[in-house]
Amino acid sequence: MTTGTLQASISYGVGFAISSVAAPPRRLRHRHVTLAKAEPTDKSVEIMRKFSEQYARRSGTYFCVDKGVTSVVIKGLADHKDALGAPLCPCRHYDDKAAEATQGFWNCPCVPMRERKECHCMLFLTLDNDFAGKEQVTVMTNFKAL
Amino acid sequence: MPAAFSPLPHAGEKSTITVAIAKFQERPTTMQIAASIFSFTATPPPLCVCHFPSKTNLPNSLSSSKPSLPSPLLSLSPPRKLICRPPSGKYVREDYLVKKYSAAEVQELVKGERNVPLIIDFYATWCGPCILMAQELEMLAVEYESNALILKVDTDDEYEFARDMQVRGLPTLYFISPDPSKDAIRTEGLIPIQMMRDIIDNDM
């Protein structure tokens, strides 16, 4: 078990806004916002599941000991694939999902994963990670959204 | 591992854990957060499935089903010996302790009077580590009870609020002290429960 040292800096130049008393009016009508749908299609889920297994084998990584985490992430990838046409990383917040999907940095496998085998979704884990299991195959579990 | 200082996390940086401390002011201007980024191998939280006991303390329905055929076994059964005190069922409920809040409600909470630290969990529906974080926060809510207020915000529902709060990696936690002169603390990624306790106990 390894722990990192917490070192943080304090910046005094700043405050952040919780803007005004009244909530800002929603302008969703004027901007295309892609939200997560309820459930992705089974076909997309199966595609992403097979992709995950294949990529885990190829990259020498393993799935999480908690298969619920793996299932949720695969469903998130499938959901983005349905909505955006590309499996955008489900563990990030984006200003414009469609633009990010086009740009490709965070399309799974994302650049940090390809370059450094860093998957903050905990989908592909190296053996030295405490959460890494020993499997490179997964079975989708039904998992209710939070 | 040594910490590195960098501006706001952006594409390409390690997204394992980011710790940023921002000064929370009532009249904010611009936001500059100095982030220290370090790689962290978290200790796995207890990966127990949060089963709530299905047994209840309801009386045995069999005893009242057929009154015409008294069962000698039921009437002469020895009293049950309790091996351990059964749980009070205080937290056995359908809803989670950590409630989902809207942006407006969070804003009201932050601006209002508080005596306890406020912990805001920004999550997304299909974010895997958010599930583990939610389990940890539930345990934390049980530990701290009314000494900390823990809530969660769905970034897919509160899109603009998450953007305003500069949420990038998920899950992102904000620790906001009841003392307005103290800095708020932001963490990005899954962090161990002990780190959360340390932040609440020492920095809030």
Q: Are residues A107 and A78 in the same domain?
A: yes
Q: Which token pair is B167?
A: 């949420």
The pLDDT of B110-118, averaged and rounded, is: 90
* More confidently predicted of B36 and B164: B164
Least-confidence region, from A74-83, B73-82, B85-94, B160-169: B85-94
- pLDDT value of residue A39: 83
- pLDDT value of residue B73: 46
Instruction: Please report residues of A whose CB lies closer than 8 A to that of B100.
Output: 146
B33:A14 CB<8 A: yes
Pick the catalytic residue: A64, A91, A108, A121? A91
Q: How many helices (H) and strands (E) does chain A have?
A: 4, 1
The 8-class DSSP code of residue B202 comes to I
Q: Are residues A47 and A20 in the same domain?
A: no
Q: Which of B188, B199, B196, B168 is nearest to B38 (CA)?
A: B188
* More confidently predicted of A121 and B46: A121
Q: Are residues A29 and A47 in the same domain?
A: no
Pick from A9, A26, A75: CB nearest B36: A9
Q: Are residues A62 and A82 in the same domain?
A: yes
A112:B155 CB<8 A: no
Q: Return d(Cα A40, Cα A79) in angstroms, integer.
A: 5
- Share above pLDDT 70 across residues of chain B, in percent, rounded to a whole number: 53
Q: Are residues A13 and A85 in the same domain?
A: no
End-to-end CA distance of chain B: 25
Integer CA distances (angstroms), B29 to A15, A100, A122, B183, B193, in order: 6, 28, 36, 15, 32
The 8-class DSSP code of residue A88 comes to B
Q: Are residues A126 and A70 in the same domain?
A: yes
Cβ–Cβ under 8 Å, residues A40 and A90: no
| Containing structural domain, residue A12 | 5-34
Q: Are residues A64 and A121 in the same domain?
A: yes
* CB of A30 less than 8 A from some CB of B: no
Report the sign of the C-alpha dihedral through residues B116, B122, B128, B131, in that order.
Answer: positive
Q: Is A91 a catalytic residue?
A: yes
Q: Are residues A52 and A112 in the same domain?
A: yes
- pLDDT value of residue A6: 39
Pick from B110, B126, B130: CB nearest A36: B126
Element housing B164 (H / E):
helix B159-164
B33 to chain A: closest CA residue: A11
Strand-pair partners of B6: B35
Residue linked to tokens 């989902």? B100
B111:A121 CB<8 A: no
B14:A14 CB<8 A: no
| Overall number of domains in chain A | 2
Q: Return d(Cα B101, Cα B121) in angstroms, integer.
A: 10
- pLDDT value of residue A137: 84
Q: Are residues A123 and A79 in the same domain?
A: yes
- Digit-coded pLDDT (tens) for A79-113: 999 999 999 999 999 999 999 999 999 999 999 99
Q: Which of B118, B137, B72, B56 is nearest to A146 (CA)?
A: B137
Best of A5, A6, A45 to disrupt the B interface by mutation (most B CBs within 10 Å)?
A: A6
pLDDT band with cut points at 50, 70 and 90 for residue B113: confident
Average pLDDT for runs of 10 along chain A of length 146 = 39 41 47 62 95 96 95 96 96 96 97 96 95 85 52
* CB of A25 less than 8 A from some CB of B: no
Across the A/B interface, how many CB contacts are shorter than 8 Å?
Answer: 201
B20:A8 CB<8 A: yes
Q: Are residues A94 and A131 in the same domain?
A: yes
Q: Return d(Cα B71, Cα B78) in angstroms, integer.
A: 14
Q: Are residues A104 and A123 in the same domain?
A: yes
Least-confidence region, from A80-84, B15-19, B79-83, B147-151: B15-19
Q: Which token pair is A30?
A: 């004027």
Whichever domain contains A107, its CATH number is: 3.90.460.10
- Digit-coded pLDDT (tens) for B2-37: 333 333 333 344 444 444 444 444 444 434 343 333
Identity (one letter) of the amino acid at A62?
Y
Q: Are residues A25 and A94 in the same domain?
A: no
Identity (one letter) of the amino acid at B9?
P
Instruction: Please report residues of A whose CB lies closer than 8 A to that of B184.
Output: 16
Per the confidence metrics, is the pTM higher than 0.95?
A: no
- pLDDT value of residue A32: 56
